[in-house]
Amino acid sequence: MEIAIPQSPIAERETYLNAKYGVWSWLLTTDHKRIALLYLISITFFFFIGGFFALLIRLELLTPAGDLVQADTYNKLFSMHGIVMVFFFLVPSIPATLGNFLVPLMIGAKDLAFPRINLLSWYLYIIGGVMMLYCIFTGGVDTGWTFYAPFSTNFSNTKVVEAGLAVFVAGFSSILTGLNFVVTIHRMRAPGMTWSRLPLFIWAHYATSIIQLLGTPVLAITLTLVVAERALHLGIFDPKLGGDPVLFQHLFWFYSHPAVYIMILPAMAVESEIIACFSRKRIFGYTFVALSSIAIAVFGFLVWAHHMFVAGISVYSALVFSFLSYAVALPSAIKVFNWTATLYKGSIHYDAPMLYAFGFLGLFTIGGLTGLFLAALGIDVHVTDTYFVVAHFHYIMVGGAVMGYLGGMHFWWPKISGRLYPEGWARLAALIVFIGFNLTFFPQFLLGYMGMPRRYYDYSHMPEFQVLNVLSTAGATVLGVGYLLPMVYFLWSMRYGKPASDNPWNAAGLEWKTASPPPTFNFDEEPVVTWEAYNYEELDAPPHAQEVPVAR
Amino acid sequence: MLNNFPLWPQQASTLAHRVDALYIFLIVVTGMMALLVCVFVIFFAARYRHRPGVLAEQIEGSTALEVTWSAIPFLIFMVIFAWGALVYFKERTPPADATEVYVVAKQWMWKVEHAEGQREINELHVPVGRDVKLIMTSQDVIHSFYIPAFRIKQDVLPGRYTVEWFRATKPGVYHLFCAEYCGTQHSGMVGSIVVQEPAQYEAWMNGGSTGPLSASGEKIFAELGCATCHRTDTQGRGPNLQGVFGHPVQLEDGRIVTADENYLRECILDPGAKRLKGFQPIMPTFQGLVTEEQVNALVAYIKAISTTKPADGAKTSASAAIQEVPAKAQANSAQTKAQLNAAQPNRIQVQ
């Protein structure tokens, strides 16, 4: 857990990075920026664990026969890939790192409302993470990340209780982050920072926090019931004791569908900031983009049973949930249209963050539009539980959320580290990720409609699926390279990158009005806001053209 | 022609064309939406790329545009929604006269029993051009009965029946997959749907058949001593089961439910849960005493005696018995318990 602290050439200025030294100054910090970095290191660690599992899954599926690992091992791989990626990477990814770092900066606050609770939330995450690692290293879990009963409660012989408790604990970390953001956004805004002047990043994080606060407790309850049912045979989900296995699915998806919005809303948050900056424009339809985040948070709670159209629910409830699913698709469409309209008559720059933003637009649009297929009842019956679903949610949760995360990392890295990364490499990485991603997941749409069920370890009965699987595996290796590259040049830039100016992109927003990296309490004097968000008419174009990214 | 298109599985049921038609419509519509966004993004990105000295033009937004690009997609969504719902209703409404096949799923195989008599494992033979209704349950975890060539899928749950139906249109052998993750050999829980010409199918059905499922049900019904209470007149301690299937019945708590497969199944395994009005709670549970296959046979038998002797003879039907028999049923309850206890050893043997 060692942090390489950049050797600032202008050593005299005190920043949050050099204010204190030593391990304890990090492990006991209450500075939201340092906690954001603690999160960054932890989620990157889990991202590569989850990524390693994904790579093994793709390698196994290279050939139809089950020849790389055992069936049980494969089942554990996709289960732990899902659990690690969802609960230990995607849910905390943008909110706990970029959100943690930027929410106070963007609203002109010194810190979050509850700095110690912020630290507690990281410790809860770490405790959950260590429990998950314990689960992985003592045999793993094979229920899928969905923990469906009665398989998880009565049949699986793996570490279900351990995994359930790990997610349970990590869930509280997420609840506390949400709580902290809601209170901070309500109470800590700088003078003049009205709701209508808030950056859209804040609006989307506010919506995300509401979901975290209201949804995650339901997940905690559900997992508690699974653990209790497994240990005590209560008969909540077991039909032999009068329970109902479909009840589990209702409870699980009541959290886990809104959880998709916990992952994608912050990526949309990042998207709005990047597009505004590199088009040098105010976001088109600010109010609609802001309110669409809230609409997604509200409607997101009303669509959970669209995961259950063939699970044995009634035709009429299926109708209602199908209808509501189209209702929740609308605010996402509105966002995409507004971002597109923002480009109109802009002055567009193609820096690395903008390339990621373009990538996000493309992948999220495909992910969103294929959601229309799944919400259509008649088609869902055919494609649910096939690779079509796998492709769809990866386009949203990886194509959308991870593209947003990487775009945000590139946009704010100069602020976070005080250094510039090599622009050429960053553009190359954006391109590799985009190509690798599409090569990996687009064939899976076709596989899904062909009928290949998900979570199949062996498809030797249907060798016709192999060509598309080979394409997908090839894409996964490209994607892997695309994800490794930024980690390499970000680390490299911490020592060798050119020092960043306070506002290297000439971007609007309070976070750019303080030093890079910022001092411990963010602003030397409390800012007073007298302007609207995205006042790009008052800012010059970014000075990137004449800059060479490497120092000396 | 479309059957040779490589991007979807064969179309071998009456539903396949309906699903594919909607799928093609969606590809066209979403493709146009994606193209529209893509064209605008690329055009704007190229046309309005940064040029020194040219400033961006600040535009606040446009409510008219927002309304337009909310309303048009919403209308398109509603078309997709309605079309999807129509296909789904078709998929979810088995025709009344469909041939019935009972499916029992377990880790990791499909056990199939035709109402007409044949039994199979991991295979299902069906004739071309006949409606087939699958009545499915699971012995352990949740499975899902998925036939891509027919475009149908339905989860198979422990503790209750779920139903799906199809009408095959083309002879051939098609994939059967378990589509709900069910443990170690999930990907081995695959099989074949064999669609045959009617003549071939008849020949297959008559080869080594064990007789119709309802006949085994009748045997089990006798062996378990069900007939001691469920008599074929109005004098039994339990309701007369002739003509009960498919008709509304009144429960002790006043509710009226339809006596469908799930209701019959529940009455066998948990008789207290939905007891008929006017009858004493004297029937013991058969949970754990009969296998899923035996429950299926019993249900098939009760259905058979309901269709051969329809409910028009009011006095023989259970729904009519509700009003007339209570006193009699009450009087005999003590005696019944003793008899049922005596019958227990038989039941265990049967299992």
Q: What pLDDT is stored for residue A6 in this prediction?
A: 55
Instruction: Kindly write down the DSSP assignment for every residue of A52-83, as one continuous string.
Output: HHHHHHHHHTTSSS--SS-HHHHHHHHHHHHH
Based on the fold, state whether residues B238 and B190 are members of the same structural domain. Answer: no
Which residue, among B37, B39, B75, B174, would best test binding to A if mutated, counting the most A CBs under 10 Å from its CB? B37
Residue B13 domain-assigned (yes or no): yes
Torsion of CA A489, A490, A496, A498, to 10 degrees: 110
Kindly list the residues from chain B whose CB atom is less than 8 angstroms away from the CB atom of residue A336: 37
CB contact under 8 A, B190 and A461: yes
B168 with B249, same domain: the answer is no
* DSSP letters spanning A178-216: HHHHHHHHHH-PPTT--GGGS-HHHHHHHHHHHHHHHHH
A173 and A125 in contact (C-beta within 8 Å)? Answer: yes
Q: What are phi and psi of B99, to 5 degrees?
A: -65, 135
- Of A238, A240, A303, A310, which to mutate for an interface test with B (greatest number of B Cβ within 10 Å)? A310
Residue B183 shares a structural domain with residue B239: no
Residues 6+ apart with CB under 8 A from A146: A82, A252, A256
- Tell me how far apart the alpha carbons of residues A111 and B221 are, in angstroms, rounded to a whole number: 74
A106-115, B44-53, B239-248: least confidently modelled range: B239-248
Phi and psi at residue B195, to the nearest 5°: -100, 125
Chain A residues with CB inside 8 Å of B155's CB? 310-312
Q: What pLDDT shows up at residue A544?
A: 57
Among candidates B346, B349, B135, B318, which has minimal Cα distance to B236? B318
**CA–CA dist A66, B313 (Å, integer):** 60
B318, pLDDT greater than 70: no
Q: Are residues B305 and B287 in the same domain?
A: yes
Output the average pLDDT for chain B: 84
Q: At B323, is the secondary structure helix, strand, or coil?
A: helix
List Cα–Cα distances, B55 to A145, A281, A283, B45, B161, in angstroms.
49, 10, 16, 14, 67
The rounded distance, in Å, linking the Cα atoms of B234 and B241 is 10
Write out chain A residues lying below 8 Å of B149, CB-based.
451
**Helix/strand/coil for A450:** helix
What is the structure's pLDDT at B284?
86
Neighbours of A531 (CB within 10 A): 10
Of the candidates B204, B100, B218, B209, the residue with the CA atom closest to the CA atom of residue B161:
B100
Instruction: Name the CA dihedral angle for A66, A67, A72, A73, rounded to a multiple of 10 degrees.
Output: -130
Same structural domain, B239 and B297: yes
Quick: pLDDT tens for B107-118. Answer: 999 999 998 888
Closest CA to A222 of A278, A144, A168, A277: A168
Q: Do B166 and B258 have their domain in common?
A: no
Contact across the interface for A372 and B78, Cβ inside 8 Å? no
* Residue A180 near residue A121, CB atoms below 8 Å: yes
d(CA A145, CA A422): 37
CB atoms within 10 A of CB A271: 29
CB A469 within 8 A of CB A62: yes
State the residue for tokens 């892997």: A480
- What would the mean pLDDT of B74-78 be, rounded to a whole number? 96
A1 to chain B, closest Cα gap in Å: 37
Per-residue pLDDT at B241: 86
* CB-CB contact of A254 with A215 (8 Å): yes
Please tell me which residue of chain B has the smallest CA distance to A355. B45
Q: Are A453 and B177 inside 8 Å of each other by CB?
A: yes
Q: Using CA atoms in the order A153, A157, A161, A166, what is the torsion angle rounded to 10 degrees?
A: -120
CB spacing of B181 vs A461 below 8 angstroms: no
- Asked whether residue B234 falls in the same domain as residue B308, the answer is yes
Does one domain contain both B164 and B218? no
SS3 label, residue A134: helix
Residue A156: which residues within 8 A CB-CB, separation 6 or more?
A141, A142, A143, B183
Domain of B267?
213-350
- How far is residue B330's CA from residue B123's CA, in Å, rounded to a whole number? 48
Tens place of pLDDT per residue across chain A (552 aa): 445 555 555 556 889 998 889 999 999 999 999 999 999 999 999 999 999 999 999 999 999 998 899 999 999 999 999 999 999 999 999 999 999 999 999 999 999 999 999 999 999 999 999 999 999 999 999 999 999 989 999 999 999 999 999 999 999 999 999 999 999 999 999 999 999 999 999 999 999 999 999 999 999 999 999 999 999 989 899 988 889 999 999 999 999 999 999 999 999 999 999 999 999 999 999 999 999 999 999 999 999 999 999 999 999 999 999 999 999 999 999 999 999 999 999 999 999 999 999 999 999 999 999 999 999 999 999 999 999 999 999 999 999 999 999 999 999 999 999 999 999 999 999 999 999 999 999 999 999 999 999 999 999 988 889 999 999 999 999 999 999 999 999 999 999 999 999 999 999 999 999 998 999 999 988 899 998 899 998 887 776 544 444 443
Give A153 to chain B, closest Cα distance, Å: 10
What does DSSP assign to residue B106? E
- Can you tell me the ipTM of this complex? 0.90
What are the backbone angles phi and psi of residue B257, rounded to the nearest 5°? -125, 160
**Percent of chain B with pLDDT strictly greater than 70:** 85
Contacts of A385 in chain B (CB under 8 A): 144, 146, 153, 179-180
Q: Is the pLDDT of residue B315 over 70?
A: no
Test B73 with A144 for CB contact under 8 angstroms: no
For residue A365, which residues of chain B lie inside 8 Å, CB to CB? 33-34, 37-38
CA atoms within 13 A on the CB side of B190: 17
Task: Please judge whether B179 and A385 are an interchain contact, meaning their C-beta atoms are less than 8 angstroms apart.
Answer: yes
Instruction: Give the nearest partner residue to B45 out of A72, A239, A343, using CB atoms.
Output: A343
Closest chain B residue to the Cα of A147, Cα to Cα: B181
In angstroms, the CA B30 to CA A463 distance is: 30
Cis peptide before A517 (omega within 30 of 0): yes
- Each residue of A332-362: b (16+ CB within 10 Å) or e? bbbbbbbbbbbbbbbbbbebbbbbbbbbbbb
Residue A246 and residue A305 in contact, taking contact as beta carbons nearer than 8 Å: no
Q: Which of B134-138, B321-325, B344-348 has the highest mean pLDDT?
A: B134-138
- Cα separations (Å) of A346 from A349, A512, A542? 9, 21, 14
Packed helices A245-279 and A315-343: angle between N→C axes, nearest 10 degrees:
10
Residue B59: which of A66, A242, A284 has the nearest Cβ?
A: A284
Among B172, B206, B240, the domain boundary falls at B206
Class of domain A32-546: mainly alpha
- Mark yes or no for CB contact B56/A245 under 8 Å: no
> Which of A309, A382, A458, A468 has the most B C-beta neighbours within 10 Å, making it the best mutation to test the interface with B?
A382
Q: Do A457 and B187 touch (CB under 8 A)?
A: yes
Inter-chain touch B159–A454, beta carbons under 8 Å:
no
What does the alpha-carbon distance between residue A369 and residue B26 come to, in Å, rounded to a whole number?
9
How far are the Cα atoms of B13, B177, B347 from residue B284, in angstroms, in the given order?
43, 37, 11
| pLDDT band at residue B333 using 50, 70 and 90 as cut-offs | very low
Is residue B54 included in any domain, yes or no? Answer: no
Residue to mutate among B22, B62, B66, with most A CBs inside 10 A, is B66
The answer to whether A513 and A22 are in contact (CB under 8 A) is no
CA–CA distance, A333 with A289 (Å, rounded to integer): 10
End-to-end CA distance of chain A: 30
Query: Are B38 and B75 found together in one domain?
Result: yes
Say yes or no for a CB contact (<8 Å) between B187 and A71. yes
Q: Domain limits of chain A?
A: 32-546
Top residue of B3, B137, B141, B266 to mutate, by most chain A CBs within 10 Å, is: B141
CA dist., res. B206 & res. B51, Å (int): 82
Tell me how far apart the alpha carbons of residues A256 and A247 are, in angstroms, rounded to a whole number: 14
DSSP lists the bridge partners of residue A203 as none
Are B227 and B199 part of one and the same domain?
no
Mean of the pLDDT values across residues B170-180?
95
Give the pair of three-digit tokens for residue A231: 């240990």
Distance from CA of B223 to the nearest CA of A (A): 24
pLDDT in the model for residue A4: 55
Q: Cβ of B26 and A386 within 8 Å?
A: no
Beta-carbon separation of B58 and A288 below 8 A: no
A358: closest CA among A310, A302, A399, A313? A399
Structure tokens at A62: 């290279």
Q: Which of A311, A340, A369 sits opposite B41 (nearest CB)?
A: A340
Residues of B in contact with A344 (CB under 8 A): 44, 48, 59
Which residue in the set A319, A446, A450 is minimally distant from B148, CB to CB? Answer: A450
Q: What token pair was written down for A110?
A: 């010194």
Dihedral of CA atoms A444, A448, A454, A459 in degrees, nearest 10, equals -90
Residues in A closer than 8 angstroms to B51, CB to CB, are 347
Contact A450 B9 (CB under 8 A): yes
Facing residue for B26 by CB, picked from A151, A343, A373 = A373
Q: Which residues pair with B194 in a beta bridge?
A: B125, B173
CB environment A459-487: b (16+ within 10 A), e (fewer): bebbebbeebbebbbbbbebbbebbebbe
Say yes or no: B103 and B25 in one domain.
no
Decide if A406 contacts A89 (C-beta within 8 A). Answer: no
CA dist., res. A219 & res. A53, Å (int): 24
For residue B198, CA distances in Å to A222, A537, B98, B130, B225 come to: 50, 77, 15, 9, 38
Q: How far is A305 from chain B (nearest CA, A)?
A: 14
Whether residues B10 and B119 fall in one domain: no
> Is B151 part of a structural domain of the chain?
yes
C-alpha span between B222 and A179 (Å, rounded)? 64
Question: How many domains are contained in chain B?
Answer: 3
Distance from CA of A301 to the nearest CA of B (A): 19
Per residue, what are the HEC states of A330-363? HHHHHHHHHHHHHHCCCCECCCHHHHHHHHHHHH
* Domain containing residue B179: CATH number: 2.60.40.420
A52's tokens = 């390693």
